[in-house]
Amino acid sequence: MKWPRDDSKLDRVRELMAERELDALVVRAPDNVLYLTNFWGMKGYDACVFPREGDPVLICLEASQDDAIYQSWTTDIRLVDGYSARDPRPVPARTLDAALAAAKDYGRIGLELSLGTQASDRMVGEPTTFTKAWFDAWRDAGDAMPVLTAARSIKTEQEVERMRLANAICAAAMEHVRGELRPGMKESEAAAIWLGYVHGAGTGWEGKVDLALGFSLVWSGPGIRTFTATGERPVQADEPTLFEIWVCADGYWCDHTKLLCPGEPKAEYRELEHALVGVYERAVAHCVPGASLAELDVLVREGIERMGYAGQPTHPICHGVGARAHEPPYAHQAGGGEIREGMVLAIEPGCYWSEGGGLRVEDNFLITADGADKLSPFPDGIVLQ
């Protein structure tokens, strides 16, 4: 689907650029290129020069020209060769040449100097890394990330609509795997069922999604841990199978943790679920405009400590979602910041047993004037078949 230009988003970026006295941003992370141009590239070789005044320049592979014309909000599209008979350098070197030419008339440039993570391109498997030469080319550059982080933390109506699509695909995929999950099935098979639905049914979803991709970690029973790969462990009949899952729909993401169980879960899981969902619900109730992100972190961790799981979880309990699955703001008791209307937050408390097993619950919430609006229709807690 070709989305109309989101002027409310781009105007906010320019206002923040003016506050920081930046004349142009030069970005190359796929999610920032997407955010500023609506172009989601195939290989991460692309860049955008986004001026405070005037039209942006999109730099992309020659092979992506048709995609760029279809997707992009800018008509100034400059192409670089994927292969040049006269130039043996890797493609990002030619992207740099084009970016320097496009930015030559601007004064103070902002680069992604403090970028910590970035979303993938559409091919995903081989992320592109720009070399030191990219950053050295603008030696007096300022940091673009305070501008982009502040702008991206508040979602526009269009962004929320696109994130609702990702959430709907994710929920439908969970309903699909709910009907297919069987005791003894490998975790990897359960993951493949979910992933296949996301890509197969999600691409073309409601005539609004050109490409849907899924990313998953699936663990069952004693395989549930904070961060390990999906394996060949069997799905348990009386213990939950945990799906840590992301969907990306044309560059906008959701991030969920959902729980399925083919039979009635053991009593210790029901007890853990009851206590953890209580912490989760109190965390969601905290999320109103003006509430403290630091206090949210404390609320969740103190609640989990009272459950008998001091020091857990080792992962963040709340973060932003949007053009990445994990983006600012983050809730941290030693940090600052407040929850603002228009944010979309993933809230994810979890507790884990040392011998393996445990639970996590997670969904995405749009912060409105009245509180937190859950974006996924799929239930939280342990869902039975």
pLDDT 10s digits, 120-154: 999 988 989 999 999 999 999 999 999 999 999 99
Domain extents in the chain: 7-153, 157-384
The pLDDT of residue 143: 98
Span 157-384: which CATH code? 3.90.230.10
Q: What is the C-alpha separation between 20 and 147, in angstroms, rounded?
A: 8
Residue 266: Cβ within 10 Å count? 16
pLDDT tens, residue by residue, 312-359: 999 999 999 999 999 999 999 999 999 999 999 999 999 999 999 999
CA angle, corner 160, sides to 158 and 162, nearest 5? Answer: 70
Neighbours of 306 (CB within 10 A): 11
Which pairing describes strands 350-352 and 344-347: parallel, antiparallel, or unpaired?
A: unpaired
Q: What's the pLDDT band for 226 if we cut at 50, 70, 90?
A: confident
Query: H/E element holding 91?
Result: helix 91-103
Query: Greatest CA separation found in the chain?
Result: 69
pLDDT at 187 over 90: yes
Single out the residue of 373, 338, 152 nearest to residue 253, CA to CA: 152
Distance separating alpha carbons of residues 332 and 249, to the nearest angstrom:
29
Least confident of 124-128, 208-212, 279-283, 333-337: 124-128
Return the pLDDT at 303.
Answer: 98
Listed in sequence order, the residues at least 6 apart from 224 whose beta carbon sits closer than 8 Å to its beta carbon are: 240, 242, 352, 356, 357, 358, 359
Query: How far is it, in rounded angstroms, from Cα 182 to Cα 185?
Result: 6
Mean of the pLDDT values across residues 199-212? 98
- The tokens describing 136, both together, are 């050295």
Q: What is the pLDDT of residues 238-254, one digit of tens each?
A: 999 999 999 999 999 99
User: How far apart are alpha carbons 286 and 355 in whole angstroms?
Assistant: 32
Task: Enter the pTM of the model.
Answer: 0.97
Confidence of residue 227 (pLDDT cuts 50, 70, 90): confident
pLDDT given at position 167: 98
Do 7-153 and 157-384 fold alike per CATH? no
pLDDT score of 296: 98
In the chain, % of residues over pLDDT 90: 98
- Under 8 Å between Cβ of 357 and 268: no
Tens of pLDDT, residue by residue over 44-90, are 999 999 999 999 999 999 999 999 999 999 999 999 999 999 999 99
**Phi-psi region at 250: left, alpha or beta (left = phi > 0; alpha = psi -120 to 50):** left
- How far is residue 227's CA from residue 55's CA, in Å, rounded to a whole number? 43
Domain spanning 7-153 has what CATH number? 3.40.350.10
Contact 221, 261 (CB under 8 A): no
- Average pLDDT for residues 197-218, to the nearest whole number? 98
Is the previous residue joined to 316 through a cis bond, with omega within 30 degrees of 0? no
